[in-house]
Amino acid sequence: MFKIGEHVIHPGQGVCTVTGFKDSPTPMIELEAHSGHSKTKLLYPLSQVDRLHACIDKDRAEELLSDYDSIACDSFTERNSSLEESYFKQLLKQGAPTTVQVAKTMRCRIHDAESQAKKPSSYYMRILKEAHRRSVEELAVALGVSEDDVEARIAHTFEEFGQN
């Protein structure tokens, strides 16, 4: 069970902070999601608490940033882009390191399409945006720094490994 003040990954919201517990009428865990400049308060059923999981730790976050080049792109493809998008949306619910892998996969797919003078699928940008947001949030919590600091480290990592 999680403790008050602990950061967890909510499947739909990303990083949330446990703020309390309610017993009635149904046992709930109180969460606060930080998306952008706003905070959202959520009640999540304790009966489904197994769908929440803890954020990665500082060592794992450092490893993800320093070993970015060794992260393999996901090779999943589907004839129907809607089914492919659904697959990647499901992966985003897992938090890091999966969100980092999905973001890298979308960057690679966008780069590959553009290098062939093709227009990348519009879903690539949608998934990239959400994967990047969730990755930055979780890495910032794990490292104990601001999201801006994480953005700067990610930009530096992209320069190092030739990503755009």
Same domain flag for 74 and 30: no
Query: What pLDDT was estimated at residue 162?
Result: 64
- Which domain covers residue 20, as residue numbers? 7-54
Query: Would the pLDDT of 60 be above 70?
Result: yes
Residue 69 belongs to some domain of the structure: yes
Same domain flag for 49 and 63: no
- CATH number, domain with residue 75: 1.20.58.1290
Residues 69-72: contacts with CB under 8 Å, at least 24 apart: 69/160, 69/161, 71/97, 71/100, 71/101, 71/104, 72/101
Query: Would the pLDDT of 34 be above 80?
Result: no
Residue 2 belongs to some domain of the structure: no
CA distance 83 to 14: 22
Q: What is the CA radius of gyration of the chain?
A: 17
pTM exceeds cut of 0.85: yes
Contact in structure between 127 and 142 (CB atoms under 8 Å): no
| 24: confidence class by pLDDT, cuts 50, 70, 90 | confident
Same domain flag for 26 and 43: yes
